[in-house]
Structure 1
Amino acid sequence: MTNIIGQYVRMVTFLFQRQGIQLTTLFYLRYIQVQGGIKLFQRKLIIFLWRLAIDRLPTRLNLVSRGVDIGNIGCSICNHGVEDNHHIFFSCLLAKEIWRKVSLWTSVDINRFASWSEWLSWYDQWEENISNKNRMYTIVAATVWVIWRFQNGVIFSENPMRKDEIFDSIRNYSYTWLFSRSKKQMSWNSWLVKPL
């Protein structure tokens, strides 16, 4: 698996260099691999996190900047602000509420970040044992994943996820990703009370 990811990173790096795109975040797949994410995350999540890091998710602002005529570029969740990565995941009223809940649950103040790169910078310097770092990374990955799925459900689904299901989905995804492929186990009840 590691060799396949390495080949993929080299191929993507070559393609992006050819297009003149900055390479500062292109080694994001390597970053996730170092954090243990390759073992924990499905490929679609790894690619989602990588696209988030390089601002290539199909947000309304990104679609308009690529010439797609969608009319309204306002946030589909709160109708305030332009729908871009920063807004969807960090400054939308719903996102702020979700980060507040995640902060209370983990006892770590993570609701203060305005962007994914800010969060990654903090995470790199966070002095914590590797087990808790992996858990925190997985919880944050689950948070942005569930926010993205909720936002897409609002736009495309006849029966979108309810707002009151978001936090439970985050806890469920993060627990499943961490412990379904791990030798170390934690009870579900312990996870709900104190994940770190």
Structure 2
Amino acid sequence: MERVTSLVSLARRNVAVDSVVCLICGMEEETAEHLFNSCRFAQEIWGKVTNWCRVPDFFAFSIRDLLEAYKYALLPKDKAKVFHAICLTTLWCIWRARNEAVFEGKPVRLESVFGEIKGLSFLWVQNRAKKPSLSWNDWTRFDFGE
């Protein structure tokens, strides 16, 4: 619904922006759909996430598809919930990386963002999903009991 304050949505609200081109890839206009779905960077991140979580690669046509990806991930129920948390963390980390690029001029690095996804989602799952015995080694292999 373009509620995310992307460069295009800001321009539509008559906010002065230098350009509406995505600062991460520099190839298309920065809409929410582009930022989270079709940006080359986002696609590479989602590829790393699905590979890590042993989920078949998927192509999301919308942000809603990303939010519902866990339903079609072919994972046991507990792991599907964890995968959902990872998807939410991924969206958050992409947004943070974009904001750091926009407001602080920081370069967006694939491995840094992916590392942040793993670290933040580990903390969220360990503390919110009643998995206090979850180890970092098991987490990084996405290998833990249901």
Aligned length: 143
CA 1:122–1:154 in 2, change beyond 3 Å: closer, same or farther? closer
1:190 corresponds, among 129, 132, 138, to 138
1:97 corresponds, among 41, 44, 47, to 44
Partner residue in 1 for 2:97: 150
Q: Which has the higher helix share?
A: 1
Percent identical among aligned pairs is 31
Partner SS for 1:180: helix
- The residue type equivalent to 1:187 in the other structure is S
Shift of 1:109: 2.3
The answer to whether the Cα contact below 8 Å between 2:24 and 2:108 also exists between their aligned partners in 1 is no
Deviation digits for residues 89-142 of structure 1 (CA, Å, limit 9, x no counterpart): 111111111111111101112441132112334444556433112101111011
Give unmatched runs, 5+ long, in structure 2: none
Separation in 1, partners of 2:117, 2:21:
25
CA 1:100–1:156 in 2, change beyond 3 Å: closer, same or farther? same
Give unmatched runs, 5+ long, in structure 1: 1-53
CA 1:174–1:160 in 2, change beyond 3 Å: closer, same or farther? same
RMSD of aligned C-alpha atoms? 2.1
Partner residue in 1 for 2:67: 120
Partner residue in 1 for 2:30: 83
Separation in 2, partners of 1:77, 1:148:
11
The answer to whether the Cα contact below 8 Å between 2:94 and 2:113 also exists between their aligned partners in 1 is yes
Between 86-95 and 111-120, the greater mean CA deviation after superposition: 111-120
Separation in 2, partners of 1:80, 1:158:
18
Partner residue in 1 for 2:78: 131
The answer to whether the Cα contact below 8 Å between 1:90 and 1:115 also exists between their aligned partners in 2 is yes
For the pair shown, the structure with the greater C-alpha radius of gyration is: 1
Separation in 1, partners of 2:143, 2:108:
24
Q: 1:45-56 to 2 correspondence within 5 Å?
A: 54-56=1-3
Shift of 1:158: 4.8
TM-score (ref. length: structure 1): 0.65
